[in-house]
Structure 1
Amino acid sequence: MASAIISVGLRLTGYDVASAVFLVPAVVAWLLLAALFADRLLLDRGTWKAQAETPAALTSIAATTVLGTRLSLQGRQGAAAALLIVAAALWPVLLPSVVRHWKPRLPGAGFLVCVATEGLAVLAGTLALAERQNWLMWAALGCFVLGLLLYAAVLPRFDVGQLRTGSGDQWVAGGALAISALAGTKLVTASAANGPLHWAPSAHGTLRVLTIVLLVLDLCWFAVLLVCEVRWPRPHYDVRRWSTVFPIGMTAVACLAVAAAADVPAAETAGRVLLWPSVALWVLVLVGAVRSALAGREPPV
C-alpha cells in the first residue's frame, strides 16, 4: 500500500522514473502477499479464518485497489480491471468477518473498513474515467457513500488513547479520510459539465464541496497526529509504522487530486510538500524493517 501510493504521487507530480522504482516493490510485495494469502486459504484454513477476523485482513483489498489505480494511470486498464475484480470479490468475504468481530474500542486499523471500501471507489472511478463507463462511476459512488458510513461507524469506537500510545496505525484515522477525498475527486471529475462522462452534472457542486471538506478534515487529523507524535515520541520500529507511511502518502495524493479536480491551487502545493516526507518515512521504515529482520536472525546472547 505504502509503496503503491507513493508511486501514484510521484507519477502525478511528473517523477515518472522514481514512480516506476516504487512500483517495483509494490508489485513484488503484492505478489508475495497474494501467494501467502492463497497458501493459507488452501492449506491452513484455521489460520486464514483467524486472520480474516482482524482489520489487518482488509489491507489485502486496499493494497489491491491502490496498485490497480497506479497501473491504470500507466494505461494498463486490463490489469487494473482484473485487480478491481479481485478486490471486489474479497470485499464481501472479509469486511463482514471483520465487522462481526469488532471490539468496543478499536485501534486505528479499525478504519480499514473505510479504506478498503473507498479503495474500491477510487479504482472503479479511475477505470470509469479511463474507459468512459458510466455504470462503473455509479458503483464508485455507492462505495464512496458506504465508505463514509463505515467511517462514521468506527469513529465512536476509536480508542483515542492510541494518539498517545499507538505504534503507527493510529494514522489510518486520517488516512481513511484522505482516500475518501481521493475517491470524491473521481466523482467530481465525472460530474463536471466539461468532464469526459457527463455523469450526474447536477451533483457536481455538492460532490465538490464534500470532497474539499473531507480533505480539510484529513489535514486536521494530520496536524493532530503530528502533534501527538512530537508530544509522545515513539522512535522504535514497529511493523505498524507502514500504516503511518500510507496515510501520509495518501494525504499527499489526495491534495494533488483535489487541486486538479476541484480547482484548489493551494492543495497542489500541500500535496507536493507532503509527498517528500512520505518518501523519507518510507525509507526510514524500510531500514527499520531490515534491521529488525537481521536482529531476529541473530542468536540469543
Structure 2
Amino acid sequence: MSILPGRDWWTGLPPAAGAAVMATGIISVGLHLTGHEAASLVALLVAMALWLVLAADFTSRLLGDRGRFRAEADTPAALTAVAATTVIGARLSQQGRQTAAAVLLVLAAVLWPGLLYNVLRHWRRRMPGAAFLGCVATQGLSLLAASLADAGHRDVLARAAMAAFCLGLLLYLAALFRFDLREVVGGAGDHWVAGGALSISALAGSKLTASPVWTGSAHTALRTVTLALLALSLGWYVVLLAAELRHPRPRYDIRRWATVFPLGMTATACLSVAEPAGVAWLSTLGEVLLWIAVGAWLLTFAALVASHLTAGRGARGR
C-alpha cells in the first residue's frame, strides 16, 4: 500500500501508515536537540502534512465507512493515531507552541482509551511487534504531558504523566509475553517496536526525571528506571540490527516505517537522557544514532518511491 499520490490515494491508507508520521516527527525532535534547526523544521512540516492527511482519512472512515473503521480500530496499528499525535505535540512543545501541543494532548487522550480497549480485546498469543504499540501510545501521552508540565509548571500534568508512564511499562510487559520472537528474524519491520517502545519509555522517563516535582528517592528511582530502560532499548537495538544483517529483508513494506521510528526514538532517548541522568557520553551516542535514523528514513522513502513507480509501470503494462 503506497503513501504517495494517486487516484483517491489518501482514502486507502492502512493504519500502519501512522508510523511514517511517528518516524518523521521523532527525527525532527532529535534534529532540534542537536541544533540542526532548519532540518528539524523541514521534518516537522513533513510530519504535520502527513498527520493532516491521515487525520482526514481517519475522519472519513469514521463518518463514511464504519465497517472498515471498526475492523481497523481492532488492530494494534490503529494506535499509531495516538502515538503520532503525541510525537507531533512533543515537537510543537519544543517549539514553544504550548497551546497547539495541549490541543493535541487532549485529542490523543480522547482517542487513546477506546482504541486501546479495542486492541487489547483482540490480542492473541503470538503477536507481531505492533503489539508494543499499546505501550508506545501510552508513553507518548506521558511524554507530551510531561513536556507540557515542564513548560507550564503544572504539577497535575506531571503526575498524570507519571501514571501513564507506569501504565505504559505494564503494557510493555504484557506485550512482551505475547510477542512472537520469530519476528526478530522474519518480521516485516514492526518487530523493531519491541525496542522502540522501551526507547520512548526512556524518553518519557527523562522528561519526568527533569521535572522538579520528583525529588529525593523518587527522583533517584526515576533516574535508575530511565537508565535501565535505555540500556534495554540499546540491547534490543543490537539484537535487531544483528538479525537484519543476518536475515536481510530488502523489499519495501509500509511496516518499515515502524523500523525507522525506533531508530530515531533510540537516538532521541539517548540525547534526552544524557543531561538529567548526568551521563555525558550518551549525547555523542545519540548523535551517531540520529544520523543512522536519518539515513534509514531516506532509504525507506527511496524504497517507497521505487515501489510506487514499479507498481505504476506494472499497472500501465496490463
TM over 0.5: yes
Contact 1:58 1:95 in 2 (8 A): yes
1:246 Cα deviation from its structure 2 partner: 0.3
Structure 2 unmatched ranges of 5 or more: 1-21
Contact 1:134 1:199 in 2 (8 A): no
Alignment-mate amino acid for residue 57 of structure 1? A
Partner of 2:310 in structure 1? 295
1:74 Cα deviation from its structure 2 partner: 0.3
Q: Secondary structure in 1 aligned to 2:169?
A: helix
Equivalent position to 2:277, from 262, 274, 291: 262
Q: Deviations along 1:144-171, whole A, 9 cap, x unmatched?
A: 0000000000101101111111111110
Q: Secondary structure in 1 aligned to 2:125?
A: coil
Partner of 1:144 in structure 2? 165
Superposition misfits of 4+ residues, deviation over 6 angstroms: none
Q: Deviations along 1:15-66, whole A, 9 cap, x unmatched?
A: 0001011111100000000000000000000000000000000000000000
Partner of 1:154 in structure 2? 175
Partner of 1:193 in structure 2? none
Partner of 2:52 in structure 1? 31
Inter-partner Cα distance in structure 2 for 1:231 and 1:85: 43
Partner of 2:251 in structure 1? 236
Equivalent position to 1:45, from 66, 69, 72: 66
Q: Percent identity?
A: 57
Equivalent position to 1:222, from 230, 234, 237: 237
Equivalent position to 2:39, from 15, 18, 34: 18
Partner of 1:135 in structure 2? 156
Q: Deviations along 1:232-279, whole A, 9 cap, x unmatched?
A: 011111111100000000000000011011111121111011000100
Inter-partner Cα distance in structure 2 for 1:187 and 1:17: 28
1:294 Cα deviation from its structure 2 partner: 2.1
Inter-partner Cα distance in structure 2 for 1:231 and 1:222: 14
Inter-partner Cα distance in structure 1 for 2:251 and 2:228: 34
Counterparts of residues 97-246 of structure 1 (less than 5 Å) = 97-190=118-211, 197-246=212-261
Alignment-mate amino acid for residue 130 of structure 1? A
Confirm whether residue 253 of structure 1 aligns to residue 261 of structure 2: no
Q: Deviations along 1:109-153, whole A, 9 cap, x unmatched?
A: 110000000000000000000010000000000000000000000
Inter-partner Cα distance in structure 1 for 2:214 and 2:248: 47
Q: Secondary structure in 1 aligned to 2:210?
A: helix
Contact 2:158 2:213 in 1 (8 A): no
Contact 2:185 2:247 in 1 (8 A): yes
Inter-partner Cα distance in structure 2 for 1:170 and 1:297: 29
Partner of 1:275 in structure 2? 290
Counterparts of residues 66-105 of structure 1 (less than 5 Å) = 66-105=87-126
Alignment-mate amino acid for residue 129 of structure 1? D
> What TM-score does the superposition give when structure 1 sets the normalisation length?
0.96
Inter-partner Cα distance in structure 2 for 1:261 and 1:181: 12
> What TM-score does the superposition give when structure 2 sets the normalisation length?
0.91
Structure 1 unmatched ranges of 5 or more: 191-196
Contact 1:62 1:115 in 2 (8 A): yes
